[in-house]
Amino acid sequence: MTKRKQKDMDNEGDLRVWHIPQVPMNPFRVAVKNIREAKLILDALAHYDSFQFENNIKPDYSNAAGLEVFENGEWTDWYDEESGDGVDDLDEQRRIFYGIEEEVVTA
């Protein structure tokens, strides 16, 4: 497989999740289809980092993550155009956003 520049493959409106498991590392990125998929991946990564810390896999950590959208030829942080909320702000709106009637609690 030939290596192509990422910019050559990006299309207007594309979304990608970025995650830095230990700051100041470089982020890894993964393309997502929609905001719901992004939120699920971001939540899973956050739970995974917490699990590793709580089970002494990592002695400590400082992570960061977010969602980007490709607009006007460059990647920028995603936010909801109507409310101005970022992907982290969607927790309060999760039931409406995901169409969930009651909160699901996991161990």
Cα separation, 69 vs 1, in Å, equals: 26
Burial bucket for residue 44 (CB in 10 Å: 0-12, 13-18, 19+): exposed
Rg (CA), the chain: 16
The tokens for 77 are 């942080």
Residue 16 has phi, psi (to 5 degrees) of -150, 145
pLDDT tens digits for the chain (107 residues)?
A: 444 455 568 999 999 999 998 888 999 999 999 988 999 999 999 999 999 999 988 888 788 999 999 999 999 999 877 777 777 766 655 555 555 454 444 44
Residue 31 near residue 16 (C-beta atoms within 8 A): yes
Provide the pLDDT for residue 3. 46
